[in-house]
Amino acid sequence: MRRNKHGQREILLITNRGKHRWIIPKGWPSARLSDKKVAAREAVEEAGVRGRVRRQALGKYTHITRDGQQRLIKVYRLDVEHQLKRWPEQAERNRAWVSPKEARQLLKRSDLRRIIAAI
């Protein structure tokens, strides 16, 4: 998330690799990293942004992986401080800054739309 030059909130959406649907950056829980650190790492790798991750999760949802495993995903707010010109997955994804209202319209998952609405 960031504030644009008019002070309005914007949400960064990225496309997934498979169907190019709009999503938010997410990562899998790690035994060696806190959930907040995973969120920060994935924001860099998938979306090319760095910033401050808020302490409390905004929400959570269940994601089914391609191999059928069920994963609990916690969503953290990251206040973007720097946008990279190059990042690891830039050739595989698109990114777009949109208003929270637009984000709710573009996201297919109702659980993500609910989390965005709470912002």
R_g (Cα) of the chain, nearest Å: 14
For residue 64 the two structure tokens come to 């089914």
Say what the pLDDT of residue 11 is. Answer: 97
Predicted TM-score (pTM) of the model is 0.89
The residue among 70, 71, 69, 78 whose CA lies nearest residue 46 is 78
- Name residue, tokens 């960064």: 12
Provide the CATH topology of domain 2-118: Nucleoside Triphosphate Pyrophosphohydrolase (3.90.79)
Alpha helices in 1-119 (DSSP H): 35-42, 100-106, 110-118
Say what the pLDDT of residue 20 is. Answer: 86
What is the pLDDT averaged over residues 97-110? 95
- Please answer whether residues 95 and 85 qualify as being in contact, where contact means their C-beta atoms are separated by less than 8 angstroms: no
The residue among 114, 93, 118, 115 whose CA lies nearest residue 13 is 93
